[in-house]
Amino acid sequence: MAPSRFFVILAILAVFAPSILATNYIVGDDEGWTTGFDYQVWAQGKMFVVGDNLVFKYPKGVHNVLKVNGTGFQQCAAPVGTAPLTSGNDVINLATPGRKWYICGVAKHCAAGQKLLITVKPSIAPIPGPLPAPSPSPLSASSAAPSPSPTAECSY
Protein backbone atom coordinates (compact mmCIF):
# COMPACT_ATOMS: atom_id res chain seq x y z
CA MET A 1 0.00 0.00 0.00
CA ALA A 2 2.86 2.39 0.79
CA PRO A 3 4.30 2.30 -2.75
CA SER A 4 0.96 3.40 -4.25
CA ARG A 5 0.84 6.36 -1.85
CA PHE A 6 4.35 7.26 -2.95
CA PHE A 7 3.24 7.27 -6.60
CA VAL A 8 0.26 9.51 -5.77
CA ILE A 9 2.47 11.97 -3.89
CA LEU A 10 5.01 11.96 -6.72
CA ALA A 11 2.27 12.62 -9.28
CA ILE A 12 0.90 15.52 -7.23
CA LEU A 13 4.38 17.03 -6.90
CA ALA A 14 5.00 16.70 -10.64
CA VAL A 15 1.80 18.64 -11.35
CA PHE A 16 2.18 21.36 -8.73
CA ALA A 17 5.97 21.77 -8.39
CA PRO A 18 6.29 24.25 -11.27
CA SER A 19 3.69 26.59 -9.75
CA ILE A 20 5.12 26.19 -6.26
CA LEU A 21 8.60 27.00 -7.52
CA ALA A 22 7.43 29.92 -9.71
CA THR A 23 8.85 33.35 -8.99
CA ASN A 24 6.83 36.56 -9.14
CA TYR A 25 9.05 39.34 -10.50
CA ILE A 26 7.85 42.85 -9.71
CA VAL A 27 9.06 44.67 -12.81
CA GLY A 28 11.32 47.51 -11.64
CA ASP A 29 11.19 46.26 -8.04
CA ASP A 30 10.29 49.20 -5.74
CA GLU A 31 10.21 51.66 -8.66
CA GLY A 32 7.54 49.66 -10.50
CA TRP A 33 6.61 50.26 -14.15
CA THR A 34 7.47 53.89 -14.79
CA THR A 35 9.50 56.28 -16.92
CA GLY A 36 13.11 57.11 -16.14
CA PHE A 37 14.09 53.56 -15.17
CA ASP A 38 16.47 51.20 -17.02
CA TYR A 39 14.57 47.93 -17.30
CA GLN A 40 17.35 46.20 -19.22
CA VAL A 41 19.70 46.74 -16.27
CA TRP A 42 16.93 45.50 -13.96
CA ALA A 43 16.54 42.29 -16.00
CA GLN A 44 20.28 41.52 -16.08
CA GLY A 45 21.24 38.64 -13.82
CA LYS A 46 17.68 37.41 -13.42
CA MET A 47 16.75 33.98 -14.72
CA PHE A 48 13.17 33.94 -15.97
CA VAL A 49 11.73 30.46 -16.46
CA VAL A 50 8.46 29.09 -17.75
CA GLY A 51 5.91 29.35 -14.96
CA ASP A 52 7.29 32.59 -13.51
CA ASN A 53 5.16 35.74 -13.46
CA LEU A 54 5.94 39.34 -14.35
CA VAL A 55 4.00 41.82 -12.22
CA PHE A 56 3.72 45.34 -13.65
CA LYS A 57 2.79 47.81 -10.88
CA TYR A 58 1.95 51.42 -11.75
CA PRO A 59 -0.71 54.05 -11.03
CA LYS A 60 -3.82 53.07 -13.00
CA GLY A 61 -4.41 55.44 -15.92
CA VAL A 62 -0.82 56.70 -16.00
CA HIS A 63 0.83 53.77 -17.84
CA ASN A 64 -0.12 50.53 -19.56
CA VAL A 65 1.58 47.33 -20.72
CA LEU A 66 1.65 46.08 -24.29
CA LYS A 67 3.16 42.76 -25.34
CA VAL A 68 4.92 43.30 -28.67
CA ASN A 69 7.40 41.55 -30.96
CA GLY A 70 11.03 42.56 -31.57
CA THR A 71 10.12 45.07 -34.26
CA GLY A 72 7.44 46.66 -32.08
CA PHE A 73 9.96 46.86 -29.26
CA GLN A 74 12.53 48.66 -31.44
CA GLN A 75 9.96 51.01 -32.98
CA CYS A 76 7.91 51.49 -29.78
CA ALA A 77 4.78 50.48 -31.67
CA ALA A 78 2.25 47.75 -31.01
CA PRO A 79 0.44 46.00 -33.84
CA VAL A 80 -3.04 47.33 -34.54
CA GLY A 81 -5.57 45.63 -32.30
CA THR A 82 -3.14 44.86 -29.47
CA ALA A 83 -5.09 45.21 -26.24
CA PRO A 84 -3.17 47.01 -23.50
CA LEU A 85 -3.17 45.86 -19.90
CA THR A 86 -4.34 48.77 -17.77
CA SER A 87 -5.11 47.55 -14.23
CA GLY A 88 -2.02 49.01 -12.57
CA ASN A 89 -1.27 45.54 -11.19
CA ASP A 90 -0.91 43.46 -14.35
CA VAL A 91 0.32 39.89 -13.98
CA ILE A 92 1.74 38.11 -17.01
CA ASN A 93 2.46 34.40 -16.70
CA LEU A 94 5.54 33.36 -18.66
CA ALA A 95 4.00 30.26 -20.21
CA THR A 96 6.49 29.58 -23.02
CA PRO A 97 10.26 29.89 -23.42
CA GLY A 98 11.84 32.50 -25.70
CA ARG A 99 12.26 36.24 -25.99
CA LYS A 100 9.48 38.46 -24.65
CA TRP A 101 9.05 42.18 -25.31
CA TYR A 102 6.87 44.66 -23.36
CA ILE A 103 6.38 48.41 -23.79
CA CYS A 104 4.30 51.22 -22.35
CA GLY A 105 1.98 52.56 -25.03
CA VAL A 106 1.20 55.87 -23.32
CA ALA A 107 2.53 59.02 -25.03
CA LYS A 108 6.30 58.76 -25.57
CA HIS A 109 6.97 56.56 -22.52
CA CYS A 110 8.46 53.72 -24.57
CA ALA A 111 10.80 56.09 -26.42
CA ALA A 112 11.88 57.37 -23.01
CA GLY A 113 12.91 53.83 -22.03
CA GLN A 114 9.78 52.30 -20.53
CA LYS A 115 10.24 48.95 -22.23
CA LEU A 116 11.41 45.52 -21.19
CA LEU A 117 13.06 42.66 -23.06
CA ILE A 118 13.62 39.31 -21.33
CA THR A 119 14.49 35.77 -22.32
CA VAL A 120 12.45 33.00 -20.71
CA LYS A 121 14.18 29.65 -20.18
CA PRO A 122 12.39 26.28 -20.18
CA SER A 123 11.03 25.13 -16.85
CA ILE A 124 13.53 23.76 -14.38
CA ALA A 125 10.98 21.55 -12.63
CA PRO A 126 12.50 18.26 -11.57
CA ILE A 127 11.83 15.33 -13.85
CA PRO A 128 10.84 12.27 -11.85
CA GLY A 129 13.49 9.58 -12.08
CA PRO A 130 13.27 5.88 -11.47
CA LEU A 131 11.50 4.95 -8.30
CA PRO A 132 13.26 2.97 -5.59
CA ALA A 133 12.51 -0.74 -5.38
CA PRO A 134 10.09 -1.75 -2.64
CA SER A 135 11.62 -2.82 0.66
CA PRO A 136 12.13 -6.57 1.00
CA SER A 137 9.93 -8.31 3.49
CA PRO A 138 11.55 -9.01 6.86
CA LEU A 139 13.46 -12.30 6.96
CA SER A 140 12.34 -14.95 9.37
CA ALA A 141 14.85 -16.32 11.84
CA SER A 142 15.07 -19.61 9.94
CA SER A 143 15.89 -17.97 6.59
CA ALA A 144 18.30 -15.36 7.89
CA ALA A 145 21.89 -15.68 6.79
CA PRO A 146 24.23 -16.91 9.49
CA SER A 147 26.25 -14.22 11.20
CA PRO A 148 30.02 -14.39 10.90
CA SER A 149 31.91 -16.14 13.65
CA PRO A 150 33.74 -13.91 16.11
CA THR A 151 37.10 -15.19 14.77
CA ALA A 152 36.33 -14.35 11.13
CA GLU A 153 38.62 -11.79 9.55
CA CYS A 154 37.37 -9.03 7.33
CA SER A 155 39.48 -6.96 5.00
CA TYR A 156 38.28 -3.56 3.94
Closest CA to 79 of 68, 65, 63, 90: 68
Residues 57-92: tens digit of each pLDDT: 999 999 999 999 999 999 999 999 999 999 999 999
Q: How far apart are CA 124 and CA 36, in angstroms?
A: 33
Delineate the domains of the chain, giving CATH numbers in brackets.
Answer: 14-121 (2.60.40.420)
Residues 7-39: tens digit of each pLDDT: 555 445 444 444 457 999 999 999 999 999 999
Q: What is the mean pLDDT of residues 94-123?
A: 97
How far is residue 60 from each of residues 76, 87, 141, measured CA to CA in Å? 21, 6, 76
Percentage of residues in the chain with pLDDT exceeding 90?
65
Q: What is the pTM of this model?
A: 0.69
Q: How far apart are CA 73 and CA 105, in angstroms?
A: 11
